[in-house]
Structure 1
Amino acid sequence: MKVPYEYAIIRAVPRVERGELINVGVLLYCQRRDFLAARTHLHDERLLALDPDADAAGVRAALTGWEATCAGGGAAAAMSPGERFRWLVAPRSTILQAGPVHMGLAEDPAAELDRLVELLVR
């Protein structure tokens, strides 16, 4: 049976004032399955094409933080998966930003997350 889910693309914006970005991951939340996860992949060459001075290692470390937040680590430990998702997709002016939230239907949220990462990031 297919269940609804919400997802947002994680974007790296190395120079916020220029507004240029690359897709570096996907967040997916499925309330019915109590599922929240992020899958990330950073193309160093793409990031450095937008800003040769970008700190790829720092961006990669921050992405690991997003994945940990989804899993309930750190300051997000007391939050529900839905609260963590809403916190991560809230607008911000940092190098990592979540795009608009989209909806979909899937039988397996984890498999759908993998599919979206292949389609939108890799």
Structure 2
Amino acid sequence: MEREEFINIGLMVFCKHQKYLRIQVEIPDEKIRLLATEFDLSQLKINVDAFLKICSGNKDGGPIAAFDMAERFRWLTAVKSSSLQTSRPHSGLSVDLDGTFERLYAELVL
């Protein structure tokens, strides 16, 4: 967005050791409309759908979805992505990846 205002619409967690890559997205249409009345929500939804397919390795996600998990994560979190702007990945430790995912999603997205 031109004013450098951002909204967290999702979370992605990756753990190479556990072979874990999970993404969840919730698009807050009304909140986005308040910040940018002419924002193309349909294009955002198309881009998010592509991210979901690539993350899951869905064959409908195109050639990038066929990459191994680590490569898909690197591609999805690339700084110069033209489809969605993601924040820089943050490292951390967890013994319960699903629990950590749920906690972070509640704190950062909802």
The residue aligned with 1:21 is: 6
The residue aligned with 1:5 is: none
1:55 aligns with 2:40: yes
More relative contact order, 1 or 2 (CA 8 Å, 6+ apart): 1
Name the TM-score, length of structure 2 as normaliser: 0.85
Write the distance in 2 (CA, Å) between the matches of 1:79 and 1:101: 19
Paired positions, count: 107
Which structure's residues are more often helix, by fraction? Answer: 2
Name the TM-score, length of structure 1 as normaliser: 0.78
Write the distance in 2 (CA, Å) between the matches of 1:24 and 1:117: 9
The equivalent position to 2:70 in structure 1, one of 49, 72, 82, is 82
The residue aligned with 1:3 is: none
Instruction: Percent identity, please.
Output: 33
Unaligned runs of 5+ in 2: none
Unaligned runs of 5+ in 1: 1-14
The residue aligned with 1:69 is: 54
Cα offset, 1:104, TM superposition: 1.5
